[in-house]
Amino acid sequence: MNFNISEILSKLQVDIKGVNPGVSTGSTHWQGSGNVLDSFSPVDGKIIAKIGTASKDDYQKVIEKAVEAFANWRMMPAPKRGEIVRQVGDELRKYKSELGALVSYEMGKSYQEGLGEVQEMIDICDFAVGLSRQLYGLTIHSERPQHRMYEQYHPLGVVGIITAFNFPVAVWSWNTALAWICGDVCIWKPSEKTPICSIACQVIAARVLARNNVPEGVSCIVNGNYEVGEWLTNDKNIPLISATGSTRMGKIVGAAVSQRFGKSLLELGGNNAIIVSEHANMDLALRGVLFGAVGTAGQRCTTTRRVIIHEKVYDSFKATLVKAYGQLKIGNPLDTTNHVGPLIDQLAVDTYLKAIEKGKKEGAKFIIEGGLLDGKEFESGCYVKPCIAEAENKMEIVQSETFAPILYLLKYKTLEEAIAIQNGVPQGLSSSIFTNNLQESEYFLSHQGSDCGIANVNIGTSGAEIGGAFGGEKETGGGRESGSDAWKIYMRRQTNTTNFGSSLPLAQGIEFNL
């Protein structure tokens, strides 16, 4: 595609001259009086723009505006809030190609994946519109005569959203679209590695909100470093913190929020495995493993990091996989002929290289060597080689999540052994088995099978549909976002009882002689 970042940002109405606004409560944007943040593109190493970040005073202004907006926004009927979310989805449709290109350039994922991420935003808006007419409670039969008992949900308040760089726009929308129709207002702390994407999203949303006379503060962004996240997690004005990132970060956020009896929605690390059975369709398995392992340069929480292969097909599948890796094209992600783009920054590259070194020290045998790519098209210093190693599940490096395209091959004899290997890591996000054997697939999906929040048959670990709840167990954090009944986390549950009779039966049969 023909790409010009200045033209892209101009179409998105993001001004790249001088210091960009890094703080916003809707149509009102300001630069912020905190430190200036440079946004680098890992595609070519160039600075996209300079971002003004929030000071503590800026943050307090945002909080005050959000709290004020909540009092108004929650009074609007949910279907009317849904109508506004529908308009946001339509606005995203208009700018899908431009926003997708910005995601690709600022984050480094392929242009196709950038478009796919914006489509997820559109899809969650569509989902939320329908949901706005379905925020159902329950009617419960009371044990007391002439009493009606029921359960309903109310808006929660201000929702703090902390997102990671690898999905710089979609995860915000997963939370925001649902929170909005539930009657909540949102404050977004995006990754400091992808701040321009957050400004573009805020500009798009703010136009719709302004057209509908929605008060300032329903949609807010606060750009900055980890300190902004700390302000959010420790703020008693924010009943829910949704945080996406590493397990280390999640432990800090979860502990801080629980100290003030707030609610956390944690989407943390993944160490995802695909089991390749002797009964698998090997063509399907190859595609699932390849995309799962190298998509987004291994920087998805659902990236395939381990492949557990039956001993009867281990050698043949390994040979086919190695051949497929040899056909991968690495380069500028805006060139749609390339399969793999760069890692996000130099820190990610260093982590990748150290993981390879550690793996070798622990005895992993690299059958496709990794390393840093050099040359003019790789001058950003962020392009690396996807690599494959034969390893054992007990190795410390295999037990860890490395956010890079490193794939470990493991061998098994029985399905029970394969599942034990699959489950034998601290994380529990996504899992998959490739098999045409009904007994194997059902066993994998049973309570004796995968312990992950996502378990698939004959598709890979990477990628999830909006309609299903997304999230994982163990050190993945236990949170659920997007579809199903994930909306309930954004609301407070209330049980109600109405006595429409003329007597008042008391608990445990107690009587007062009045």
User: Which tokens in the block code for residue 417?
Assistant: 């052994």
Q: Which of 78, 267, 72 is nearest to 163 (CA)?
A: 267
Which of 113, 117, 192, 267 does the annotation list as catalytic? 267
Roughly what angle, to the nearest 10 degrees, separates helices 78-94 and 170-181?
A: 150
The CA distance from 29 to 171, in Å, is 22
Query: Which of 125, 301, 382, 387 is labelled catalytic?
Result: 301
d(C-alpha 328, C-alpha 290), whole Å:
10
Residue 373 near residue 382 (C-beta atoms within 8 A): no
What's the Rg (C-alpha) of the chain?
24
Whole-angstrom CA distances from 213 to 82, 159, 203 are 15, 21, 15
Q: Please, are residues 247 and 401 in contact by the beta-carbon 8 Å criterion?
A: yes
381/261 Cα distance (integer angstroms): 44
Task: Please confirm, yes or no, whether 267 is among the known catalytic residues.
Answer: yes
Q: Are 307 and 407 in contact (CB under 8 A)?
A: yes
Mode of pairing for the β-strands spanning 219-222 and 240-244: unpaired
**How many angstroms separate the CA atoms of 40 and 37, rounded?**
10
Instruction: Evaluate whether 356 touches 387 at the Cβ level (below 8 Å).
Output: yes
How many C-alpha atoms does 411 have within 13 Å on its Cβ side? 11
**Cα 302–chain centre separation:** 10
Alpha helices in 309-395 (DSSP H): 314-325, 346-362
Tokens 């380069």 found at: 331
Query: Is the CB of residue 98 less than 8 Å from the CB of residue 91?
Result: no
Q: Known catalytic residues?
A: 267, 301
